[in-house]
């Protein structure tokens, strides 16, 4: 778990379970379908029920549960999920909380959300190009290794987020 910006942490499922889970004052973005979104909604099939009102995401207090898989295709990264995650991080930080954005391994989904937040909302990373922002972010978070889907999403939507 690394603090990449004041009170904004990026990490793994283990970081959540071992460090944050039972600590007060944390806002948590579970940027992974498994196991959190699945457990919350209670589905046993491969995916969440398509008609469920919390198919994409669910909020429970200071926890945001995302139905976000680490796909190779950006088409599987819904913009609604990313937009909600950025707004949730904003809300947690503006309320004085510490925010952990985590995925299973802390390499792809969570750091990508953190990078986008830092560039688009916090102005803490270069906004000119994704490549420049990634180079700076890797200095802060060396484990950043996005898969094709989330990186493709960032590349396709970069201009919209940093305008």
Q: Do 4 and 114 meet the contact criterion of CB atoms below 8 Å apart? A: yes
Sheet strands side by side (includes 8-11): 2-5, 8-11, 98-102, 26-30, 63-66, 57-60
| Packing angle, helices 109-116 and 79-94, rounded to 10 | 60
pTM beyond cutoff 0.95:
yes
Separation CA 107–CA 93 (nearest Å): 22
pLDDT exceeds cutoff 90 at 102: yes
For the segment 146-155, what is each residue's pLDDT rounded down to a tens digit?
999 999 999 9
Q: What does the pLDDT read at residue 56?
A: 97
Report domain extents, the chain: 2-162
**What would the pLDDT profile of 55-76 be if each residue is shown by its tens digit?**
999 999 999 999 999 999 999 9
The fold of the 2-162 domain, in CATH, is 3.90.190
The pLDDT confidence band at residue 162, using thresholds 50, 70 and 90, is: very high
Give percent of the chain with pLDDT exceeding 70. 100
Peptide bond into 119 cis (omega under 30): no
């Amino acid at each position: 778990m690394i603090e990449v910006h004041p009170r904004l942490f990026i990490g793994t499922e283990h970081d959540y379970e071992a460090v944050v889970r039972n600590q007060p004052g944390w806002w948590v973005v579970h940027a992974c379908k498994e196991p959190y979104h699945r457990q919350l909604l209670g589905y046993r099939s491969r995916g969440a029920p398509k008609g469920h009102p919390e198919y994409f995401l669910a909020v429970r207090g200071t926890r945001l549960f995302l139905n976000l898989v680490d796909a190779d295709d950006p088409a599987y990264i819904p913009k609604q999920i990313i937009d909600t995650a950025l707004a949730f991080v904003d809300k947690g930080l503006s309320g004085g909380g510490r925010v952990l954005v985590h995925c299973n391994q802390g390499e792809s989904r969570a750091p990508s959300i953190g990078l986008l937040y830092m560039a688009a909302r916090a102005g803490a990373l270069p906004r000119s190009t994704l490549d420049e922002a990634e180079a700076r972010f890797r200095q802060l978070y060396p484990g950043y290794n996005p898969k094709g889907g989330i990186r493709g999403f960032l590349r396709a939507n970069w201009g919209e987020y940093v305008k």
